[in-house]
Structure 1
Amino acid sequence: MIHLINVKSLTAVLVILGVLFLYSFLSYSRTSHQQNITAENRLSADVVAVGNEFHLVAPEHLQYEQPSIVQGSRIDVVAVTPWLAPIVWEGTFNPVLLDSIYKPKNITIIATVFAVGKYIMFLKRFLETAEQHFFVGFKVHIYVFTDRPNEVPPVTMASGRRLIVRLVPTAKRWQEISARRMELIQMVIEEQLPNNRNYIFCLDVDSQFHGRWGSESLGGLVAVTHPGYYRDPRSKFPYERRPSSRAYLAPREGDFYYCGGAFGGLLQEVHHLAKTCRHNFEADAQEGIEAAWQEESHLNRYMWINKPSKVLSPEYLWQDFKPRNPEVHIVRFSGVVKNYADIRPNA
């Protein structure tokens, strides 16, 4: 009798201990599972406990109004090219959503600017406004090419952002500055090519940022439509019209007129662009030809043959002296007002 009681008591104790162990294990697993959700998993959903069950809840950046394929947020502008590349305008993208997609990729954004001669006067404002608006929250490396390294202004930069100064020769003509840009851009990219996930943007230093320029601009090959010609027929575009030049575009050729002061994309894509434009520029020079707008003319020829995968609206390179047209809801980057006779050598 005593033996039977002991067996029953032992069985009850074991059952109780088993229940307690199972409860503790489940509680620990649930806590551990929630703590060990990686950043990548958190981008897709957060795990929350409701009673003894787990539920997936979309994080805040994925909670937005349902998109539509029959009704766009902008009906006053075209948001896609005939070759199906996006045209980026304010109101055509969700900045929070896009940043949440690109930030976990651990990419670096490279920017190049040329502050040669008196153009050094524009560098401080460029750098200060870039800190406020250009890929905020991303890793950014800004390469400054200048013949006056001692005059590069000190600018406080956020964590993950760097300024790299490169010495270049003084130019005798302002066209020489333009002519060497593709060569120097090519050289910078070749230093960075092992990490081909990174992006580069080549920007004019005599400009300043007024608003966000961020992940919405990322693409394989990115061009910016010129603010002075985006409403005009291509017959008015200042393409190189001499057939003897390698930048030549015939009257019925070309899509848009793109800025030489702002373009970019993936390193390998911009490397091919810079290498090709440099080769054509130098080949023209050997024959005594200089295209109408130097590297900008060669850029437009290249972009016509090699269509950009993303086109940025004139928001991304406006001109400070121009009043905004109705379709331009925001100016993100803009050329400053200046007197070319004062800053260009032998203008």
Structure 2
Amino acid sequence: MILKERRTDVNSVTNWNVPLVWEGTFDPVVIDAIYKRMDPRVAVIVFAIGKYTQFIKAFLKSGEKYFLVDFRVTYYIFTDHKENVPQVKLGRSRNISVITVPSAKRWQEVVFGRMKWATIAIETQIVNEADYVFMMDIDSVFHNRFGAESLSRLSAVLHRIYYKNTHRDSFLYERRPESTAHIPAGKGDYYYTAAVWGGYVEDMYKLVKQCYTQAEEDSKNNIEAAWQEESHLNKYLLHNKPAKVLSPEYLWSDYDAVQADIKVVRISQLVKDYAKVRPN
């Protein structure tokens, strides 16, 4: 990373010696310039199933203002109501691709379905159209710059609730040995959110395919991981370390007060009435 200034209030390196990215640990002008010379194509995968289509417009409009501005970006919107995808003015070299997927009766089906449909879309379409892929939650809004400092082979985001916690046994890992997402007590690095993560298209494909395969295996054995895809994501990243870890700046929540060490909120999950937007 290109250092702008040194933060002394946070840890900016992981224990496997890769960057832990915070505001104040990189120079945004320099790092964007480096990546722009490479001219990468970036895919953003979001799912807007059922009533979640109401969040598309704000996500896209804020993304156009703050997400990898002046880079080539395609938003891949997976939805069961393509007629509800709004028209949003996009910048140069910015596009939308709508992919139709089935409706769901349970919100857990939507969550697990993300790994399945992302696997299929990457191997059949996105692999030919992107160099990097991000998976994001549609019920989120960008508030500040989300730039090239987020790009790497694999980038994972620290969960806002657990990022200060050093006691691994308090993380919400899947602890049942019967599940393929099982992480034994005393093991683990960090607890990562499944609401934002990304990486090279090839590495993201390996990740989503393995998580999908493991979830299918669990289903055959009549078990569902404690936190669905997030449990499988954390298991994968324990054994396939991210090349960058992003601070909770890269996924906060409007439900929570901003902590003193969060100098900027780059993207935040919206407050919502789950009873009104989820299928169950």
Q: TM-score, normalised by structure 2?
A: 0.96
Equivalent of residue 106 in structure 2, options 170, 173, 180 = 173
Matches within 5 A, 1:1-347: 73-190=6-123, 191-194=125-128, 198-232=131-165, 233-346=167-280
**TM-fit CA distance, 1:235:** 1.8
Q: Separation in 2 of the partners of 1:257 and 1:269? A: 20
**Counterpart residue type for residue 211 of structure 2:** C
**TM-fit CA distance, 1:105:** 1.1
Q: Secondary structure at the match of 1:189?
A: helix
Q: 1:67 to 1:310 in 2, by over 3 A?
A: closer
Q: Secondary structure at the match of 1:193?
A: helix
Q: Separation in 2 of the partners of 1:194 and 1:144? A: 17
Q: Separation in 2 of the partners of 1:249 and 1:175? A: 21
Q: Secondary structure at the match of 2:45?
A: strand
Q: Deviations over 1:114-139 (max 9, x none)?
A: 00011111111101100000000000
**TM-fit CA distance, 1:261:** 0.7
Q: 1:192 to 1:345 in 2, by over 3 A?
A: closer
**TM-fit CA distance, 1:192:** 3.1
Unaligned 5+ runs, structure 1: 1-65
**Counterpart residue type for residue 87 of structure 2:** P
Q: Secondary structure at the match of 1:155?
A: coil
Q: Which has the higher helix share?
A: 1
Say which structure, 1 or 2, has more relative contact order (CA 8 Å, 6+ apart): 2
**Counterpart residue type for residue 194 of structure 2:** G
Q: Separation in 2 of the partners of 1:202 and 1:67? A: 27
Q: TM-score, normalised by structure 1?
A: 0.78
8 Å CA contact retained: 2:134, 2:199: yes
How many residues of Structure 1 are paired with residues of Structure 2 in the alignment? 277
Unaligned 5+ runs, structure 2: none
Q: Secondary structure at the match of 2:208?
A: helix
Q: Deviations over 1:253-292 (max 9, x none)?
A: 1111101111110001111101110110000001101001
Q: Which has the larger radius of gyration?
A: 1
Q: Separation in 2 of the partners of 1:142 and 1:208? A: 14
